[in-house]
Structures are given as C-alpha cells and as structure tokens.
Amino acid sequence: MSADGKAPERLARRALSGRASHAETREVFSGLDWKAAGSRPRSVPHSVYQLLKHMSYWQDWVVAWLEGDSPAVPRHASGSWPAESAPSSRREWDAAVARFRRGLRRLERACRGADLPPSRGRTSRLEMLHTIATHNSYHAGQVAFLRQLLRKWPPPSGGVTW
C-alpha cells in the first residue's frame, strides 16, 4: 500500500463516480422521460428502466454485504432483472432513480474512513467496491448507448460526446 492511506478510499470513490471515465454514473438517468425509459428499440434486450433496476439490485446487495449481512445471490441471472420493462408512472421512475442514487451515496459513504483492504471471507471491501463500480460502469455505458439510440443523450449534466 502507498504511504497515503487514503489512496484506496479515493480510488474506490472515483471508480464509483465514473468521473474521468464517462458521464457521471449518478447522472446517466437524468433528464430522461419515464416513457422513454421504458421503451426498447428492436433487438435491444433491456430498457433503460430495466438497467436502472438491475443496477440498483446489485448496489443494494453490495451495501448489505459491506454492512456485514450475507445477502442471498439469485439462483439465476434473471433473478436480478425486473420482469417489467417500463415504469407504470413518472412517480415510479423518479422513485427508482432516487433509489439508485441513494444506493450510490451509501456506497460512497462506505469508502470514507473505512479499512478497505481487509477481507471478509475471500473478498476484501475494496474488491467488492471495485466490482460494483465496474458493474455500474458497464451498465452506464449501455444506458448511454440506449439513450443515444432513443435520441435522448446526453443528460442535462452533459456527457462524453466528442
């Protein structure tokens, strides 16, 4: 480890934010109409809404793990994907986005002042934070691409568009 004991914390928080890699993870859903969030162009396996719910599922799972719980892992990958492709209302969409952002804030707080390298079983807290950050980054890219297909990119905060 570096002489700077805060390096793992900074690394984890930066990875969770997406800054310097792509549009900020917390902003990829901003400014998207709830109806567009549920639409799926032909041959696209998931809507933006489904991606959002899937990302929230795993964020909540990691938060529980970091807090010492032993959350169950779905028997199949489909267990972490919502069946419905669209929110039923703007209120449902807004609540889903708020849940995602709350989960992201909880993950960022889990980085602060924590002893990240020690393991819990075979996985360290830092490794788990890295895993969820890369998971979010992967799906944030899918959201950006899908929003581009829907002609709903970039979000109001901007995005990598050059």
Provide the β-strand partners of residue 20: none
Q: Identify the pLDDT of residue 2.
A: 47
Q: Mean pLDDT score of the chain, rounded to an integer? A: 88
Band of residue 3 on the pLDDT scale cut at 50, 70, 90: low
> Mean pLDDT over residues 125-132, rounded?
91
pTM for the model stands at: 0.89
Specify the DSSP class assigned to residue 44.
-
Summarised one tens digit per residue, pLDDT across range 61-104 is 999 999 999 999 999 999 999 999 999 999 999 999 999 999 99
Sign of CA dihedral 89, 104, 46, 83: negative
Buried b (16+ CB within 10 A) or exposed e, 13-41: bebbbbeeeebbbbbbbbebebebbbbbe
Domains and CATH numbers, the chain: 11-149 (1.20.120.450)
For residue 115, the one-letter residue type is D
User: Whole-angstrom Cα distance, residue 39 to residue 137?
Assistant: 21
Distance CA 47, CA 9 (A): 33
